[in-house]
Amino acid sequence: QMIAAHLYEKPRALSESRAGVTPELSDVIARCLEKSPAARFAAMGELEEALRGSVSAADWSAAQARDWWTDQRKASAEPASAA
């Protein structure tokens, strides 16, 4: 069932499940996740342009982005806590 969903179902918009993600940025991410390769960005330059054009881009400095990625890597490396 999960494999079928991955192959055929469109994911929910990230802006619906993550606070602080603008609908504009969510649209860029959704395009990256399109099932059809033809619907995705054809080149990294296109993706970069779309990201730079998003409202969110002005809110981040390069240092903030680097720190965010560092935190994400640390969090993903930590074992999940038992609930």
Per-residue pLDDT at 81: 57
Q: Is the pLDDT of residue 5 over 60?
A: yes
Give the chain's mean pLDDT.
84
Q: Is the pLDDT of residue 59 over 80?
A: no
Q: Are 30 and 14 in contact (CB under 8 A)?
A: yes
For the record, the structure tokens of 3 come out as 């494999």
Q: Which residue has the tokens 């930590």?
A: 78
pLDDT-derived band at 83 (thresholds 50, 70, 90) equals: very low
Type and span of the H or E element at 5: helix 2-8
The pTM of the full predicted model, rounded to 2 decimals, is 0.64
Q: Nearest to residue 57, comparing CAs of 67, 65, 46?
A: 65
